[in-house]
Homo-oligomer: A and B are copies of this chain.
Amino acid sequence: MPLSRSTRCACITRSDQPVNPRSLEKLEVIPRSPSCPHVEIIVTMKKSKKQKCLNPESKTTKNLLKALSKERSKRSPQTQRKA
Contact = CB atoms under 8 A, between A and B. Distances in A.
Interface of A: 21-22, 24-33, 37-39, 41, 56-57, 61-62, 65-66, 68-71, 73-75
Contacts of A21: 31
B29 A73 contact: no
A71 B22 contact: no
B73 A32 contact: yes
B32 A65 contact: no
Nearest to A22: B31
A45 to B, nearest CB: 11
B29 A26 contact: yes
A27 B33 CA distance: 14
Nearest to A27: B29
Contact of A71 (B27, B31, B65, B75): B31
